[in-house]
Amino acid sequence: MAINYYPRCPEPELTYGLPAHTDPNALTILLQQPNVAGLQVLKDGKWIAVEPRPNAFVINIGDQLQALSNARYKSVWHRAVVNSDTERMSVASFLCPCNTAIISPPEKLVTEGSPAVYRSYTYDEYYKKFWSRNLDDEHCLELFKGEKSHSGGVSAPCKSST
Ligand SMILES: O=C(O)CCC(=O)C(=O)O
Ligand SMILES: [Fe+2]
């Protein structure tokens, strides 16, 4: 979970609260502060403001759902802008595979007409690669395009953590 705090900024056009990124995890459940806008998503090449709605969460598909769905679901590009007149907070809960999970789409989603888009990898490998680059570089999944080396979804046993 991340609790994001964006202070007021006298010149909001000069910076971002969070630069453009996709989320490296599987799914994000985001709570926005009521009445303070800041989240934007990229749709058809344009940044669209996602106005906070009372009693609603924003659900973002992350990179792992894109990979597990063999790129049928898209991990959304998003960013947070800051405001000159008010601070803002958001609370993001990240659903993540365990580090040893092998990420690879189920066989049914890999066909002749729709070959595997990404090679399989462990979440640990992905997560390290993700944070070794700038957030707003090219989509991190682009670095995992290629031959399939495992099959069958999230398959590695996960150690329970305390
Ligand atoms: O503050 C927001 O609305 C976005 C937060 C976010 O994208 C993140 O924590 O990954
Ligand atoms: Fe995010």
Distance 108 CA to ligand 2 centre (A): 29
Query: Mind listing the pLDDT tens digit for each residue in 16-30?
Result: 999 999 999 999 999
DSSP state letter for 26: S
For the domain spanning 2-144, the CATH number is 2.60.120.330
ipTM here: 0.99
Question: Is residue 151 lining ligand 1, measured as CB closer than 6 Å?
Answer: no
| Residue of 18, 29, 81, 87 with the most ligand 1 atoms within 8 Å of its CB, for mutation | 18
* Lookup: tokens for 99: 């580090």
User: Residue 149: pLDDT above 70?
Assistant: no
Q: Which residues pair with 95 in a beta bridge?
A: 27
| Residue of 1, 5, 21, 30 with the most ligand 1 atoms within 8 Å of its CB, for mutation | 30
User: Residue 148: pLDDT above 90?
Assistant: no
Model pLDDT, residue 147 = 73
Residue predicted with more confidence, 155 or 78 = 78
The C-alpha atoms of residue 112 and residue 63 are separated, in whole angstroms, by 23
Using 50, 70 and 90 to split pLDDT, how confident is the model at 156? low
Distance 110 CA to ligand 1 centre (A): 32
Query: Mind listing the pLDDT tens digit for each residue in 100-142?
Result: 999 999 999 999 999 999 999 999 999 999 999 999 899 999 9
Question: Is residue 75 lining ligand 1, measured as CB closer than 6 Å?
Answer: no
Q: Please, are residues 105 and 68 in contact by the beta-carbon 8 Å criterion?
A: yes
Model pLDDT, residue 109 = 96
Widest Cα–Cα separation across the chain: 54
* For residues 67-90, average pLDDT: 97
- Tokens 């690669």 locate to 129
The C-alpha atoms of residue 53 and residue 130 are separated, in whole angstroms, by 30
